[in-house]
């Protein structure tokens, strides 16, 4: 959670700023992180930040955009694979856990700071989030229609149940805990699939 930021080396300034902001937003929260802290952590001046980003909020949005893009791409790949629905859902469910643990900072920011975005940007992020949710739900529904998943619970609720646990990871997961990220991922995917047994 506290990787060092390259403050003067070869990494381009915008990336340096984004990395520093991500770390600080995750550690201290968006409102508690001052622009001054960000530029100091990135080894540049305020002017440089405002040369590349229109506002502090833009930095936050960039963090969102990056993680959303990544997760959507991965979900699409797993969902489109040529495998049985049970397997595709299990792998997608496990992958989102692994990816989230790999980017715990982004995840923490995502779920904690979304309400700091202006209504306009918030709407945009929610829309992309919705698209992600629906792709996942389609997998659940596909299995329900095929009769391999129980229909006892509405698919929407099933998805929210699983995403809740993903969301929660940044609260309790520690890299030095008893379980590796893959083990956690397998367990959580397993819980989902077991709950869906007819």
Partner DNA sequence: TATGAATGAGAGTTCATTCAT
Partner DNA sequence: AATGAATGAACTCTCATTCAT
| Interacting residues with its own copies (CB under 8 A) | 28-29, 31-32, 111-112, 115-116, 150, 152-154, 157-158, 160-161, 163-169, 171-172, 179, 184, 187-188, 190-192, 194-197
Q: What is the DSSP letter of 30?
A: T
52 binds, among its own copies, DNA, none (CB under 5 to 8 A by kind): DNA
Q: What is the nearest approach in angstroms of DNA to the Cβ of residue 8? A: 9
Dihedral, 134, 139, 141, 142 alpha carbons, nearest 10: 140
Q: What is the nearest approach in angstroms of DNA to the Cβ of residue 62? A: 13
* Of residues 92 and 169, the one with the C-beta less far from its own copies: 169
28 binds, among its own copies, DNA, none (CB under 5 to 8 A by kind): its own copies
* Of residues 50 and 132, the one with the C-beta less far from DNA: 50
If 0-12 CB within 10 Å is exposed, 13-18 middle and 19+ buried, where does residue 171 land? exposed
CB–CB of 100/169 below 8 Å?
A: yes
CB–CB of 87/78 below 8 Å?
A: no
Nearest Cα neighbor of 74 from 192, 168, 166 is 166
């Amino acid at each position: 959670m506290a990787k060092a930021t390259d403050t003067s080396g070869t990494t381009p300034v915008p990336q340096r700023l984004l990395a520093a902001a991500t770390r600080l937003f995750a550690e201290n929260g968006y409102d508690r992180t001052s622009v001054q802290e960000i530029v100091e952590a990135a080894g540049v001046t305020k002017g440089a930040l405002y040369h590349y980003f229109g506002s502090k909020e833009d930095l936050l949005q960039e963090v969102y955009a990056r993680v959303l893009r990544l997760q959507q791409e991965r979900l699409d790949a797993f969902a489109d694979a040529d495998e049985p629905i049970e397997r595709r859902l299990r792998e997608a469910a496990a992958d989102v856990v692994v990816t989230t643990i790999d980017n715990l900072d982004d995840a923490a920011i995502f779920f904690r700071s979304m309400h700091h975005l202006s209504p306009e940007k918030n709407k945009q992020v929610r829309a992309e989030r919705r698209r992600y949710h629906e792709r996942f739900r389609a997998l659940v529904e596909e299995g329900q229609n095929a009769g391999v998943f129980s229909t006892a619970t509405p698919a929407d609720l099933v998805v929210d149940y699983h995403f809740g646990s993903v969301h929660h990871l940044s609260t309790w997961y520690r890299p030095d805990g008893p379980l590796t990220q893959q083990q956690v991922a397998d367990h959580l995917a397993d819980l989902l699939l077991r709950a869906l047994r007819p």
